[in-house]
Structures are given as structure tokens and as C-alpha cells.
Amino acid sequence: MRIVVQRVREASVSVDGEALGTIGPGLVVLVGFTAADDPESTRWMADKVANLRIFNDEAGRMNRSVLDVSGEVLAVSQFTLYGDATKGRRPSFIRAAPPEAANPLYESFLAALRELLPGTVQSGRFGAAMEVALVNDGPVTLVIER
């Protein structure tokens, strides 16, 4: 499982002009899966996202989590996180989990996030061509893998 976490001032995701999720200050989490991932990985990663200390405290140090700042989370599935472009000019996605395996993992990740951060988690639509808009804060961007 691989995620890209971005600290944002605001963000939204839409499909065909329909807004699916909109958040204020918080995190955008792009999430991808491999066939080797399991629900335990999704719970571990959800806990990491909820408790990752990347928001500034009163002294300006990254010492507070999205929980601490009452921030929101927008989680978007993105199989292209496992794209391999080392050979040729067209990326290979062979390491990405197939949709029938990835969708339940994505739902498990969302459920774990919503348990840790009730009322503050929005999401995209699995498998859809989505439009994600965001305003980075910092910018602060991290890649985390398990």
C-alpha cells in the first residue's frame, strides 16, 4: 500500500461535474494498492494518516496531527501510484492491484479512517475519472508505503 499525503488549505474531488467531496484545512490522501495488501495494511495506514504530526504548533513546528487540529481528510484511490516508468515511455501498472482486489481495500481504508476521524473524511469514487482540486499548505507532501 502506498499513499501520498498532502497538507492542504482546501480540496475537492468531482466526477463529471458532480462534487463528491469537499474539505477545508486538512489532508488529501492519494492511495494505491498492490495484490499483496490486506485489511491490516489499511488499518495501519489509516492510523498513520490520523496521527501523522505534520501541522504546525504554536511555535511553528510540525508537531500536530489532523486529529489535533480538527482537520478534514479527502481520500482518493489512485492506482497510478504503482506505475513503473523505468523502461520505455509508457508506464506499466502490473504492480497495482486489480480493481476487484483494490476496491475492498479502498473501502476498508475509508472505514478505518472514518472510525478514527468521525465526520471529517470525504472520498472520491473508486475507478472513476476524477478531478481533484487542492490548495497545498506549505507545501507539505509525504509518500508513505507499507
Structural domains for the chain? 2-145 (3.50.80.10)
Contacts of 52 (CB under 8 A, 6+ apart): 5, 65, 66, 142
What pLDDT score was predicted for residue 129?
A: 95
Quick: pLDDT tens for 44-61: 999 999 999 999 999 999
- DSSP 3-state of 101: helix
Find where cell 511555535 sits.
59
Who's near 12: CB < 8 A, 6+ residues apart? 19, 21, 22, 23, 74, 132, 133, 134
pLDDT tens column, 92-126: 999 999 999 999 999 999 999 999 999 899 999 99
**Residue 78 bears catalytic tag:** yes
Catalytic residue among 33, 79, 109, 120: 79
Strand, coil or helix: 47: helix
Mean pLDDT estimate for the chain:
97
The pLDDT > 70 percentage for the chain reads: 100
Of these residues, 78, 109, 120, 122, which one is catalytic?
78
Question: How much is the average pLDDT of 132-136?
Answer: 98
- This prediction has a pTM of 0.95
What local confidence, expressed as pLDDT, does residue 109 receive?
98
Active-site annotation holds for 79: yes
Told to judge if 86 belongs to the known catalytic residues of this protein, a careful annotator would answer: no
